[in-house]
């Protein structure tokens, strides 16, 4: 399906069907003083685009639905900026204990680590913190910078990227979240967060007002 501008004849057909539908193709052609074959492509387009519905032996009627873009077109149009969440960050010298507390309080699965200039230096996932907790009793004494995944090994995206790009990165790298960053020249500032939850929300928004 394609999102399209209707031509003059298609608009006329739509008006006829709106007012007099259900109406057969034959009758529509008669009203326009055209051959049935001439308007066949127009009827096909209007039906495919979702403006009209057709029933055998009844004819065409106005669907009442908004013409829909294809799901694929809608997906390509989804941008990181429209679905991102607020980032949750900790500083490099926070302790692992503090990071765990922060993760619970903020109810997130991934923390981003920043330096004194608020630039991205690392990522902490649930399992990074769990792994360190096993067999370590002095979590207050371990700074997060010794256990985090660090730059330049961080996968990130920018707010103008498509959500598909972000989803692809997460699947390829097998990670749950990406920082959304802005390049500040001397480093990357964290301005957002994209997680698998945001992708799920976007997926759901494609269903629009369909029965769930």
Closest to ligand ADP by CB, 4 or 146: 146
Q: Which residues 6+ apart lie within 8 Å of 190 measured at CB?
A: 87, 89, 112, 114, 118, 120, 179, 180, 181
One of 99, 178, 181, 199 touching ligand ADP (CB under 6 A): 178
Cis link prior to 51 (omega < 30° from 0)? no
The three-class DSSP label of residue 9 is helix
**77/16 Cα distance (integer angstroms):** 33
> Which H or E run includes 146?
none
One of 133, 176, 189, 203 touching ligand ADP (CB under 6 A): 176
Q: Which stretch binds ligand ADP (CB under 6 A): 7-15, 19-27, 168-176, 182-190?
A: 168-176
Question: What token pair was written down for 42?
Answer: 């127009």
Closest to ligand ADP by CB, 46 or 123: 123
One of 123, 166, 194, 199 touching ligand ADP (CB under 6 A): 123
**163/91 Cα distance (integer angstroms):** 28
For the bound state, the minimum distance from the C-beta of residue 189 to ligand ADP, rounded and expressed in Å, comes to 15
Residue 167 within binding range of ligand ADP, rule CB under 6 A = no
How many other C-beta atoms can be found within 10 angstroms of the C-beta atom of residue 195? 20
Find residue 59's DSSP bridge partners: 55
Closest to ligand ADP by CB, 95 or 155: 155
Closest to ligand ADP by CB, 12 or 176: 176
Question: What token pair was written down for 106?
Answer: 């903020």
One of 3, 18, 65, 127 touching ligand ADP (CB under 6 A): 127
Per CB under 6 A, contacts with ligand ADP among 59-118 are 110
Closest to ligand ADP by CB, 10 or 195: 195
For the bound state, the minimum distance from the C-beta of residue 44 to ligand ADP, rounded and expressed in Å, comes to 47
**156/198 Cα distance (integer angstroms):** 15
Residues that bind ligand ADP (CB under 6 A): 110, 123, 125-128, 149, 153-155, 174-178
């Amino acid at each position: 399906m394609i999102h399209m501008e209707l031509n003059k004849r298609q608009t006329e057909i739509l008006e006829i069907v709106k007012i007099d539908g259900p109406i057969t193709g034959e009758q529509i052609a008669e009203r326009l003083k055209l051959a049935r074959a001439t308007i066949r492509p127009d009827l096909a387009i209007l039906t495919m685009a979702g403006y009209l519905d057709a029933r055998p032996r009844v004819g065409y009627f106005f669907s009442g639905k908004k013409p829909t873009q294809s799901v694929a077109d809608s997906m390509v149009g989804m941008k990181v900026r429209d679905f991102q969440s607020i980032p949750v960050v900790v500083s490099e010298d926070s302790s692992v204990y503090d990071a765990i507390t922060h993760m619970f309080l903020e109810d997130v699965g991934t923390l981003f680590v920043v330096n004194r200039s608020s630039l991205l230096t690392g990522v902490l996932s649930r399992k990074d913190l769990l792994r360190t907790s096993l067999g370590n009793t002095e979590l207050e004494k371990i700074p997060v910078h010794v256990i985090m995944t660090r730059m330049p090994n961080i996968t990130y995206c920018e707010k103008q990227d498509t959500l598909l790009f972000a989803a692809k990165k997460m699947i390829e790298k097998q990670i749950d979240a990406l920082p959304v960053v802005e390049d500040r020249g001397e480093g990357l500032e964290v301005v957002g967060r994209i997680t698998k939850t945001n992708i799920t929300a976007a997926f759901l928004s494609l269903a629009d007002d369909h029965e769930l």
